Structure 1
Amino acid sequence: MSYPYGGRSHYSVVIVGGGQAGLSLSHCLQQRGIDHLVIEKRSLVHSWRTQRWDSFCLVTPNWQCQLPGWGYLGSDPHGFMVKDQINDWLAGFVAHVKAPAIEGVTVERVSRVQGTGERDRFMVQTDTGLYTADQVVVASGGYHRPIVPRLAEKLPATVAQYHSAQYRNPAQLPEGAVLVVGCGQSGAQIAEDLHLAGRKVHLATGNAPRCARFYRGREVVDWLADMKYYDMPVTEHPLREGVRDNTNHYVTGRDGGRDIDLRRFAREGMELYGLLSGFDGGSFELQPNLRENLDSADATYNRINASIDKFIAAQGLEAPPPSVYTPVWEPAEERTRLDLAAAGITSVVWCIGFSPDFAWVDAPVFNGRGAPVHQRGVTNEPGLYFLGLPWLHTWGSGRFSGVARDAEFLAEAIEERKMGLRSSAMEAPSAPALRAA
């Protein structure tokens, strides 16, 4: 085969994934003069173009967009970039990094080829041929397979079904009522998008928490940044590694940013239910936990604000007076069935997330749930790393705000190992022959 980038088959480092994480690491490795190759299955930073709806905007303020050597460049640091602005900014980052990358190439398997001790290499099998590397970084993210429950197979063929990754705008859906399943960030924002467009929305909630957009005169993210929340490593979080399984708080940056209050939507005509659990006899089956879900979300909202109150008091800061959210609507009853035909539901949008798929990584670094076990991206398999995962190290690890710090950390680890490999090679009388693992 001919190798599409540089005509080489071996690199010191192969980075699998060309999103913001992989490109951030490429930037850090280039600064250290470490040769590497980025292999991207589709196109660089493609998910921001292909897996976001038309009205999508950031839920974190623009000032938190800080990729290596490429911060937010606009005039509204406390605003929230919309989809086209995000993609323009990322296109600038791609041009800034100039990563040695190949696109449209799928990595099918990563495995170790054993030599002697520190001379081990990795095989990186792709759909266009084989590469080898001294070290490999998996930077493909953790959102690979859209989750759609098996009960979806029971729905009539007349009902259009979409995953949140496929949703674009209300006009895409057929006329009629819409059932949105899940109220995390995507579910809550898509439900709002449909609601604002005048569509009849039925929302099956879950246990997602929520937070305020603004509190006591400032954006809540600004307060939390001052409180060093975004610098807290996973090892110091009260939930420890359990925080990686948490659903993100729902809030929006739309129209300058605001709270998302499902109770207000209900007061305006949106129909709310508990957790969706099944479909039988033409009706959706739902758990009687709507009140519990709403109360839990509000409790988190008030708890975050209370922590800000304590910070303000401890620092002796001047700020508008504190407040506590009180519900603007309460469910009259817990409805456990939703008749599809009677409600006029013609489409369902599944907003229950993604599952990771690391089956192509042939290494003993995964737990029983298929998640990689690591310390700040460094695994027990020498030379194998992960980058860009939620809470890899801090809250910002899977976002624009923290991936630069993680990339810098891994670049240092990679450089140290590279120096060790070089020393080992100089001491060895001859390079050992590689044998297949």
Structure 2
Amino acid sequence: MTSHAAGEHRSVVIVGGGQAGLSVSAHLSKRGVDHVVFEKHRIGHAWRTQRWDAFCLVTPNWQCRLPDFPYQGDEPRGFMSRDEIVAYVEAFARHVGAPVREGVAVERIAPHARRGFEVATSEGVVTADAVVLAVSGYHKPKIPALAQTLDPAIVQIHSSEYSNPDQPPPGAVLVVGSGQSGCQIAEDLHLAGRKVHLAVGSAPRCPRVYRGRDAVEWLDELGQYDLPVERHPKKEGVRRQANHYLTGRDGGRDIDLRRFALEGMRLHGRLVGGEGGRIAFGPDLARNLDAADAVYNGICDLIDRHIAETGVSAPGGDRYAPVWRPAEGEGGGAIDLAQVGIASVVWATGFSADWSFVDLPFLDPEGYPAHRRGVTSVDGLYVVGLPWLHTWGSGRFVGVGADAAHLAEAIGDRLARNAPQPLAAAI
């Protein structure tokens, strides 16, 4: 790979060579728009390096609908493993002939006096009429400040660095966070026979199968993945909502934390503090479990109404009934890590965004890109691949293609409006 030619200019620069950036590239190519994709690492980097060994999708393979490249394997109702996801994204890049420059980091994006934007990379400077930020919002592992105060003997691992149950040292493992990653990592450890403590937050849960079909099939049929942000009851607030936890492991199943508790996993409330060899949890374990189950049963209600209204034939279905309940006060208070045998902590506490490389006023007061379906408040700057960019499907394989098509159209229209007019037309 060679450095950029001095004075290189592109109509569009796409930052990020994941499924979002590649989808925009595919649609720009259809329109004949000149562009380049800069990928700091390799295509599929996050899938390849920030997922554990047993990771798989929680949505069925048939929902993988990248532009003109749907899943074509023989298990449409299966769930692709980590390596299969990487292969799918790499194959998509080859299929669309995306002009990707791997190993090129974008270090700064700033206005250019005459040519739109100046994009400084690890291999030189390029100017562009438009820039698409396709780098999601998961840039830096988010770890609570109290992590720095824990006993140095406690091994600490962020979920993006977790590999398998053999990675943590001997002893019990505390997993902090009950979103998709936290619950699946806790299950991974639990199934391997490790003693697990789980700090349970407010993430909701979803049934895997209900009334004869995967719940994702029902929700897709109901149009839930196409529901735009402005029509959601929570409006913009839904973008801060945790995803429902369930798993595609071993063909797919519910994740039932109460059943794990019956089997020996120790559940705690939300993490509220800690120092040295002690960690404290809030008194909200029962409330958090009940809230997750309420969402689970609410999804069942939604499916029931759909079946009743459409008259579709489906077997009956039962509501979830708790198989275990914490005793009064259980899950709260402080524990001594050494006393209960905890030797390591897995922080499944998510990520924070870092847009500091973009020297443009495109963020809202909370530091989130101000945009309308990916079109930001800065003319010529776009974002794609964010959760709930436009719909529930936006941050997933099922919906990113539609967002990419919308942006490609917006970019094409803008380039056409700003194109120099022929001399004859100007007279």
Query: TM-score, with normalisation over the residues of structure 1?
Result: 0.94
Choose which of 341, 344, 348 in structure 1 pairs with 2:341.
344
What letter is aligned with 1:320? P
Deviations 1:332-368 (A, max 9, x none): 1333111101111111000010011111111111112
Residue 8 of structure 1: how far off its partner (Å): 6.6
What letter is aligned with 2:333? T
Whether 2:359 is the aligned partner of 1:356: answer no
Conserved in 2, the CA contact under 8 Å of 1:276 and 1:285? yes
What letter is aligned with 2:299? I
- Between 1:67-76 and 1:93-102, the stretch displaced more is 93-102
Residue 58 of structure 1: how far off its partner (Å): 0.4
Choose which of 154, 160, 164 in structure 2 pairs with 1:165.
160
Choose which of 217, 224, 231 in structure 2 pairs with 1:229.
224
Whether 2:310 is the aligned partner of 1:311: answer no
Whole-angstrom distance in 2 between the partners of 1:14 and 1:356: 20
Deviations 1:283-325 (A, max 9, x none): 1011010001000000000011101101100111221113211
| Number of residue pairs the alignment of both structures matches | 424
1:2-401 matches, within 5 Å, as 3-4=3-4, 9-115=8-114, 120-280=115-275, 282-332=277-327, 333-334=329-330, 335-401=332-398
Conserved in 2, the CA contact under 8 Å of 1:135 and 1:384? yes
Residue 331 of structure 1: how far off its partner (Å): 0.4
What letter is aligned with 1:236? R
What letter is aligned with 2:371? H
What letter is aligned with 1:417? R
Residue 275 of structure 1: how far off its partner (Å): 0.5
Residue 373 of structure 1: how far off its partner (Å): 0.7
What letter is aligned with 1:378? V
What letter is aligned with 1:223? W
What letter is aligned with 1:74? G
Q: Which runs of 5+ in 2 are unaligned?
A: none
Structure 1 pair 422/212, CA: closer, same or farther in 2 (3 Å)? same
Conserved in 1, the CA contact under 8 Å of 2:10 and 2:129? yes
Whole-angstrom distance in 2 between the partners of 1:221 and 1:317: 16
Return structure 1 stretches of 4+ with deviation > 2 angstroms. Answer: 1-4, 423-429
Conserved in 2, the CA contact under 8 Å of 1:209 and 1:297? yes
Deviations 1:374-409 (A, max 9, x none): 000001211110011101111111111101111111
Conserved in 2, the CA contact under 8 Å of 1:264 and 1:328? yes
Residue 423 of structure 1: how far off its partner (Å): 4.3
Deviations 1:65-100 (A, max 9, x none): 011121101111111111122122222112112211
Structure 1 pair 428/390, CA: closer, same or farther in 2 (3 Å)? farther
SS at match of 1:396: coil
What letter is aligned with 1:53? W
Conserved in 2, the CA contact under 8 Å of 1:180 and 1:203? yes
Structure 1 pair 424/76, CA: closer, same or farther in 2 (3 Å)? same
Conserved in 2, the CA contact under 8 Å of 1:177 and 1:199? yes
What letter is aligned with 2:21? G
SS at match of 2:372: coil
Deviations 1:78-135 (A, max 9, x none): 11111122122222112112211212222111111234xxxx5101112222110000
Q: Which runs of 5+ in 1 are unaligned?
A: 430-437
SS at match of 1:76: coil
What letter is aligned with 1:413? A
Conserved in 2, the CA contact under 8 Å of 1:14 and 1:37? yes
Aligned to 1:434: none
Aligned residues: CA RMSD: 1.7
What letter is aligned with 1:261? D
What letter is aligned with 2:417? G
SS at match of 2:58: coil
SS at match of 1:395: coil
Whole-angstrom distance in 2 between the partners of 1:229 and 1:8: 46
Structure 1 pair 288/421, CA: closer, same or farther in 2 (3 Å)? same
SS at match of 1:89: helix
Whole-angstrom distance in 2 between the partners of 1:427 and 1:248: 56
Conserved in 2, the CA contact under 8 Å of 1:206 and 1:275? yes
Whether 2:410 is the aligned partner of 1:418: answer no
SS at match of 1:15: strand
Residue 425 of structure 1: how far off its partner (Å): 7.7
Structure 1 pair 426/175, CA: closer, same or farther in 2 (3 Å)? farther
Q: Among all aligned residue pairs of Structure 1 and Structure 2, give the percentage whose two residues are the same amino acid.
A: 57
Residue 3 of structure 1: how far off its partner (Å): 3.2
Query: TM-score, with normalisation over the residues of structure 2?
Result: 0.96
What letter is aligned with 1:95? R
Conserved in 2, the CA contact under 8 Å of 1:3 and 1:9? no
